Amino acid sequence: MDNLQGQSGGHAAAGGVLGQRVEMPMEYTPSILQAVPRAVHASVLHVGDRIYPRKGVDVWQAYEISCLYGEGIPAVGLLKMSYAAGSKVLVESKSLKLYLNSFNNHCYSECRTAEDALSEMRWTVEADLSALLGVEVRAQPHQVKGGESDFSDYLVLEEDERFVSGGRLQEGVYGEKLDSGEYEFRVATHLLRSHCPVTGQPDWGTAYVRYRCEKPLEVKGFLEYVLSMRNEHHFHEEICDTLYEHLLGEYGPGELMVACAYTRRGGIEINPIRYT
């Protein structure tokens, strides 16, 4: 990997709840939230002699949300949280899980419906996380647990025999040539893996790339780069930042979007997105 090589293991989260045995809080406990420094938070990115904007958002989807309402009736749902990738700190994932579970016995007695109770919880979460991270955090409760993917039209590279065949990566390029002379490609790979820098546990995910630039995607080189992350120890957001910077360095100016959709751990998905 390019810009994260040799940095693993130096994260401040090592002294917090991550990797520690911690009792589940039985009442609302905002003090359990922990911030960790973001490795990269500059608003611009220098690649060679070019300067690119560093834009993006980190989206967290919590699947195990619950509080009480009325006379103690449980309200259950999902909660999507998002905040700007330019924040100087991240919320540490285990502390967020413990914090969200601290609402399980918290009763919004004035509420008469589950929807109202989850909405009240949402305002509390937004306020607490915004104060922790120093940026605006938006939260949205919902009930949808499935549906059509935003990336349903992306080509999964390892499932195409032009690019992976006989147990080997194959040489090849991919991209649609536009009337402008530029190329556009929308690709995905489920081969993304890295490790938590504190616990060492593997994190599995899918990388989605949409790029409009001056040349097609060199598929073998791209997949080799993704596979080179398999034994790296970095947070999800850092992996996404690194892949984004690598592609800008390889393919130059254009319209780029990189999304890393990780499988959930502890009932929470972390999905960083970066774009020009």
Structure tokens at 222: 């791209």
- Whose tokens are 């100087």? That residue is 88
In angstroms, rounded to a whole number, what is the distance separating the alpha carbons of residues 64 and 55?
29
The single residue of 196, 213, 240, 260 carrying the catalytic annotation is: 196
In terms of Cα–Cα distance, which of 30, 29, 27, 32 is closest to 17?
32
The single residue of 58, 128, 203, 241 carrying the catalytic annotation is: 203
Q: DSSP letter at 8?
A: T
In angstroms, rounded to a whole number, what is the distance separating the alpha carbons of residues 227 and 222?
9
Instruction: Please confirm, yes or no, whether 203 is among the known catalytic residues.
Output: yes
In angstroms, rounded to a whole number, what is the distance separating the alpha carbons of residues 153 and 155?
7
In angstroms, rounded to a whole number, what is the distance separating the alpha carbons of residues 104 and 65?
8
Q: Could you tell me where the beta strands, DSSP code E, fall in 159-264?
A: 164-165, 168-169, 173-174, 176-177, 183-195, 202-213, 217-218, 255-262
Instruction: Please confirm, yes or no, whether 107 is among the known catalytic residues.
Output: no
Structure tokens at 22: 């911690």
3-state secondary structure of 244: helix
Structure tokens at 139: 């939260």
In angstroms, rounded to a whole number, what is the distance separating the alpha carbons of residues 260 and 276?
15
Catalytic residue set: 196, 203
